[in-house]
Amino acid sequence: MKKISAVLAAILIYSSAFAIDTAAYTTEENINGVIVVDDINSASKISRLSISGKKATCKSTYSDRNSNISYVKIEQTLEKSTFGLFFGVSGTNWSKTVYSDYAVYTNSKANLECGTYRLKTVFTVKTKDGKTETITVYSDEKTVK
Amino acid sequence: MNANSLFYELLEEQVKKLDDSIDQSIPFHKFSLSYRLKKRALLKAYLKTLNNSDNFDRSYRKLRFYQRIRIALLAAITALLLTGASIYVTYLIGGMKAKMYSDHSDVFSLDDENAPEFIEDNYRITYNLEGYEHIIVDNDEILYWEMYENETDRISFSFSPKSLYKNARLNTEFSGIEKITINGTEMLYFETENGYQCLVWDHGDYIFEFEFTVPFQMAEKIIESIQKE
């Protein structure tokens, strides 16, 4: 019992230390000279998936009021559930870059197989002073019957 | 009496005196819970394996119920930490549920089973916004989004079917979530750090979103002017 408690306590302490290290790594990480930080104040990000028959309409929206935004890149992937895990559907990787502080991106995919789907949207926002935000938002799951 | 007998007599006498001088009452001692539990487990294992002493060790070392609970709790906390679980506060505002984390909120519409999957009605702002540039950002069967902008201000109005408003990520880090009522309707309100004010509410079949930089009183009048065409 004492050994089990000691092992779990060690994992607990290690994971706490690891979490702190991860946060520090994230704020200091440089990708191509750009500092990666968390949410940069963008008001709303929404990922919407609509199914009609065997056709999926994928719509992602980004909204903010920020004159410091250089661009917003929206990357969409339609994912299908297989044994409880989601994988990208072939031919459904879409990407668009908008030089504004608001954006909407719509794509569709027809002739879907039966199953459960969701839309994964990755929003990458870059500001004029070099900061970058990357947030992933998933839509609700929808079923094609 | 020889010398040996005298020696033992004297020794016995001294021992007796010594014995009499010692307090014979057993002092009170409270054993710890851990000790008492171990003793109980020991006795239980002994009685259980009385006829099969080879199994004593395995019986005594089996984890007791409270030990299993302790391990389960430690394992659960470890798992939560490892998977990065976060704490959130739940708000129920109108027909929506919001999970407010430290740096954002995830908002979901509720009760959308009977709501349309696509836009069937047209809602528009009827307030006089002369002097503002009118931009139709999007207009299809799942989202209507329009903006009014001038040099200093922006007014953004959009609506979509309730079933599509799930897991909307809103930046509530600066102001948190507030529940306010306009025109008898409960609305979720938040403000970003750069002063962009946002309202989200359940309008029956649709979720309305209204974002603005104009004064709040003006925003209220604009919201009240939203009509179905």
Mean pLDDT, rounded, of chain A: 81
The per-residue pLDDT for range A67-101, each reduced to its tens digit, is 889 999 999 999 999 999 999 999 999 999 999 99
Answer whether 0.95 is exceeded by the pTM: no
pLDDT at B97 exceeding the cut of 50: yes
User: What CATH code would you report for A34-144?
Assistant: 2.60.40.10
Residue spans per domain, chain A: 2-31, 34-144
Q: What is the pLDDT of residue B114?
A: 87
ipTM associated with this complex? 0.74
Chain B residues with CB inside 8 Å of A100's CB? none
Tell whether A12 is within 8 A of chain B (Cβ). yes
Host H or E run for residue A138: strand A131-138
Task: Give B164-189 as a DSSP string.
Answer: G--SEEE--TTT--EEEEETTEEEEE
Q: How far apart are CA B177 and CA A86, in angstroms?
A: 31
Contact between B167 and A38 using a beta-carbon 8 Å cutoff: no
Q: How far apart are CA A82 and CA A18, in angstroms?
A: 32
Contact between A43 and B211 using a beta-carbon 8 Å cutoff: yes
> A124-142 burial, b if ≥16 CB within 10 A, otherwise e?
bbbbeeebbbbbebbbbeb
Q: What is the pLDDT of residue A5?
A: 64
* Domains by residue range for chain B, with CATH: 28-85 (no CATH), 89-228 (3.40.1000)
Residue closest to B67 by CA, chosen among A56, A8, A81 = A8
Q: Give the confidence band of B84 by pLDDT, cuts at 50, 70, 90.
A: low
Nearest residue on chain A to B153, judged by CA atoms?
A65
Q: What is the pLDDT of residue B2?
A: 75
Nearest residue on chain A to B138, judged by CA atoms?
A104
| Stretch B28-57: mean pLDDT | 84
Q: What is the pLDDT of residue A36?
A: 34
Q: What is the pLDDT of residue A32?
A: 36
Chain A residues with CB inside 8 Å of B154's CB? 65
Residue of B82 and A115 predicted with greater confidence: A115
Chain B residues with CB inside 8 Å of A27's CB? none
DSSP E strands: which ranges in A2-114?
Answer: 30-31, 34-37, 44-52, 55-63, 69-82, 85-98, 102-109
Contact between A140 and B167 using a beta-carbon 8 Å cutoff: yes
Mean pLDDT, rounded, of chain B: 89
Selected residue of B64, B78, B108, B170 to mutate for chain A interface (largest A Cβ count, 10 A) = B78
Q: Give the confidence band of B1 by pLDDT, cuts at 50, 70, 90.
A: low
Q: What is the pLDDT of residue B184?
A: 92
Q: What is the pLDDT of residue A98?
A: 95
Q: What is the pLDDT of residue B161?
A: 95
| Stretch B78-86: mean pLDDT | 69
Q: What is the pLDDT of residue B5?
A: 82
| Stretch B205-227: mean pLDDT | 96
Q: What is the pLDDT of residue B218?
A: 96
Alpha carbon separation from B207 to A84, B22, B135, B146 (Å, rounded): 29, 87, 20, 15
Chain B residues with CB inside 8 Å of A1's CB? 63, 67, 70-71
Q: What is the pLDDT of residue B18?
A: 83
Length of chain B: 229
* pLDDT > 70: percent of chain A: 72
